[in-house]
DNA sequence: TCCAACTGGTAACAGATGAAACTATGTCGC
DNA sequence: GCGACATAGTTTCATCTGTTACCAGTTGGA
């Protein structure tokens, strides 16, 4: 099960995959977050809530949390900030008074109409250097990794490997 | 310059690359950080400092920061915590009294001897599902992305794209 | 040699984030 | 219907991370 080139490999941080992944993700996140903030005064969680609300009108906060894997607290704060800015509407959920149905206000839709193309442009600029096939393969790999790690969330992660000492 | 399949693509958060990258990175980081903490009581920055100190004996904190792109404050805190635990030694830097040369203590080396294989095992478990070639391609892509974004750090990121309004 | 600008490292502060506690509501079994 | 338990969302609190301010030490020029 251990592939030959990987067996007994020395640990070098620079070649350690979780590290490389975190490294790149941080770089990209900082760039993107900075742009959103500078251009639209939106934090990442707020931007995500807007995007999801635009895609699924009337979605609940819990559903946003599930979809984006953001903590419900994070979603709550983003939703509060956005409604305070008049970008998001919280309407009562028919049949459940604890919940609301979120949708973009006219101002929210207007903002989204500006943000979305800018986001795609940003993405394009970052990944334009990569041939298309490489990009697709990259995303496919990301999703495979997701699947592996998500499957662990049920198991205890550390249990099967007793501390070596 | 805009590749055909990407042009005019609608923005769907779930398919937005910076989002996917952040998503996967967070999953992996949480898994790895949880394991380090549970097994060795090490935070990610501490683990990185140990790894780099093991690779480059006598390295300075600034050099660690450069190598890992961690903030010098983060490195400082990790180094303080590790020396307090007797895992790391700060020895005077000959010729510069502000700086120190960091190296693992005997206890630090002993810990590292446990952590490193465990880290590789963890990596192996996460990425074992991927064929080897895919893995190599994945890392290569990560590094290309790094190069693109790092090149931006000199430029103003938002300047060339006037807000669309 | 002395002063100004700079650098390595630390401390103090501020913003972001997640866990846990809490409120209000909903659901289930009796 | 009512009491125990679950759930949506908010608030509170502890923690982590980065920006800024700071101190000790260094460098370079007048």
- Residues near B28 by Cβ (< 8 Å), separated by ≥ 6? A18, A21, A22, A145, A149, B126
Partner B, chain A 4-23, Cβ-Cβ below 8 Å: 5-6, 9, 11-23
Q: How far apart are CA B10 and CA B13, in angstroms?
A: 10
CATH value at residue A23:
1.10.10.10
User: Which of A11, A53, A130, A160 to mutate to probe the B interface, most B CBs <10 Å?
Assistant: A11
Residue B11 pLDDT > 50, yes or no? Answer: yes
In a domain, B61, yes or no: yes
Task: Give B62 CA → D3 C1' in Å.
Answer: 62
Chain A residues whose CB is inside 8 A of the B165 CB are 114
Judge: B158–A22 Cβ closer than 8 Å, yes or no: no
pLDDT over 90 for what percent of chain B?
78
Partner A, chain B 101-160, Cβ-Cβ below 8 Å: 114, 116-124, 126-130, 132, 134-135, 137-139, 141-150, 152, 157-158
Range of the structural domain that residue B71 is part of: 17-122
Question: B42 vs B38, B116, B117, B163, B164, CA distance in Å?
Answer: 8, 12, 15, 44, 46
Q: How confident is the model at residue A9, as a pLDDT?
A: 77
In a domain, A154, yes or no: no
In a domain, B134, yes or no: no
Which one, of B27, B29, B12, lies nearest residue A145 by Cα?
A: B27
- Identify which of A31, A147, A165 has the shortest CB distance to residue B149: A31
In a domain, A8, yes or no: no
Q: How far apart are CA A129 and CA A124, in angstroms?
A: 9
Strand D within 7 A of A98 CB: yes
Q: How confident is the model at residue A106, as a pLDDT?
A: 97
pLDDT beneath 70: ranges in chain A: 1-8, 153-165
Please state, rounded to an integer, the average pLDDT across all residues of chain B.
87
In a domain, A114, yes or no: yes
Q: How confident is the model at residue B111, as a pLDDT?
A: 96
Chain A residues whose CB is inside 8 A of the B121 CB are 161
Task: Report H helices in A100-160.
Answer: 106-127, 132-152
Q: How confident is the model at residue A152, as a pLDDT?
A: 74
Tens of pLDDT, residue by residue over B120-151, are 999 999 899 899 899 999 999 999 999 999 88
Covered bases, chain D (protein CB within 7 Å):
7-12, 16-20, 24-27
pLDDT: is B79 or A159 the higher one? B79
Q: How confident is the model at residue B95, as a pLDDT?
A: 87
In a domain, A29, yes or no: yes
Q: How confident is the model at residue A95, as a pLDDT?
A: 87
Q: How confident is the model at residue A155, as a pLDDT?
A: 53
In a domain, B159, yes or no: no
Judge: B157–A35 Cβ closer than 8 Å, yes or no: yes
**Whole-structure pTM over 0.85, yes or no?**
yes
CA-based nearest distance B108→chain A, Å: 15
In a domain, B162, yes or no: no
Q: How confident is the model at residue B56, as a pLDDT?
A: 95
Q: How far apart are CA A105 and CA B104, in angstroms?
A: 57
Residue B37 pLDDT > 60, yes or no? Answer: yes
Q: How confident is the model at residue B2, as a pLDDT?
A: 41
Strand D within 7 A of B98 CB: yes
- Number of separate domains in chain A: 1
Question: B100 vs A126, B81, B105, B111, B156, CA distance in Å?
Answer: 38, 15, 14, 22, 35
Residues 65-84 of B with CB under 7 A from strand C: 72-73, 76, 79-80
Q: How far apart are CA B63 and CA B56, in angstroms?
A: 10
Judge: A118–B161 Cβ closer than 8 Å, yes or no: yes
Confidence band of B52 (pLDDT split at 50, 70, 90): very high
In this complex, how many residue pairs, one in chain A and one in chain B, have their CB atoms less than 8 Å apart?
A: 208
């Amino acid at each position: 099960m251990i592939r030959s080139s990987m067996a007994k490999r020395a640990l070098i941080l620079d070649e350690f995959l979780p590290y490389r992944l975190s490294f790149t993700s941080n770089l990209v996140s900082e760039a993107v977050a900075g742009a959103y903030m500078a251009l639209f005064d939106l934090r990442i969680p707020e931007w995500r809530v807007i995007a999801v609300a635009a895609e699924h009108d009337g979605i609940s906060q819990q559903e946003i949390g599930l979809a984006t894997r953001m903590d419900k607290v994070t979603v709550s704060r983003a939703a509060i900030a956005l409604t305070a800015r008049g970008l998001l509407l919280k309407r009562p959920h028919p049949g459940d008074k604890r919940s609301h149905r979120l949708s973009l206000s006219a101002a929210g839709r207007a903002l989204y109409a500006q943000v979305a193309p800018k986001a795609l442009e940003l993405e394009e600029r970052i990944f334009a250097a990569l041939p298309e096939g490489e990009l697709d393969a990259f995303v496919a790999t990301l999703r495979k990794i997701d699947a592996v790690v998500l499957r662990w969330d049920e198991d205890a992660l550390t249990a099967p490997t007793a501390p070596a000492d």
